[in-house]
Amino acid sequence: MKLAEALSERSALKDRMSMLSKRLQENAFVYEGDDPLDDPKEMLKELEMLTKRNEELVSSINMANATTKASNGEVLAVLLARRDSLITKSQVLSKLLESNPHDPYSSRTKDTVRRVPMVDMRAVRLEMEEASKKAREIDALIQATNWNTEI
């Protein structure tokens, strides 16, 4: 199984467990004389099976991430951490740009206190774009490695 396939299966398992959780909650109690739509005991057995499979997948994925090197020679775990950090940085800078109150069409009177930026917004935008670009490049490298890595 390829690492990318394991990641996809793990995602599907999480979705399935989430739906199972909802179904369990809906069928845990019924009115006297009624039957549940689904058997909670069977669903708990399914939950146990899904939990074991999830543990197997996560262990395999973590081991692969810790030991597999991408084409640039870096370990996947390092690339994943760098990509996630760059995405977070990009999101923070994007929010900063959104907070810019500058509206060239707003009317301001001479009595209004002018708001001035404390940072170079153009430089912030360029830095955000660069972080996003690097994150995309790293993600492409990670994806390529995932599809070429057998676990």
- Total-model pTM: 0.80
Spatial contact of 5 and 150, defined as CB atoms under 8 Å apart = no
Task: Give the model confidence (pLDDT) of 42-94 as tens digits.
Answer: 999 999 999 999 999 999 999 999 999 999 999 999 999 999 999 999 999 99
Cβ count near 113 (within 10 Å): 6
The pLDDT of residue 104 is above 60: no
Q: Which residues contact 94 (CB under 8 A, 6 or more apart)?
A: 128
DSSP-assigned letter for residue 2: B
The pLDDT of residue 108 is above 70: no
Spatial contact of 79 and 142, defined as CB atoms under 8 Å apart = yes
Rounded average pLDDT over 124-145: 98
- pLDDT band for 116, please (50, 70, 90 cuts): confident
The residues that bridge with 2 in the sheet, in sequence order, are 150
Task: Give the model confidence (pLDDT) of 13-30 as tens digits.
Answer: 999 999 999 999 999 998
What is the spatial distance between Cα 20 and Cα 50, in angstroms, rounded to a whole number? 10
Task: Give the model confidence (pLDDT) of 30-41 as tens digits.
Answer: 899 999 899 999
Which token pair is 67? 């030991």
- CA–CA distances in Å: residue 72 to residues 7, 16, 124, 126: 21, 35, 28, 25
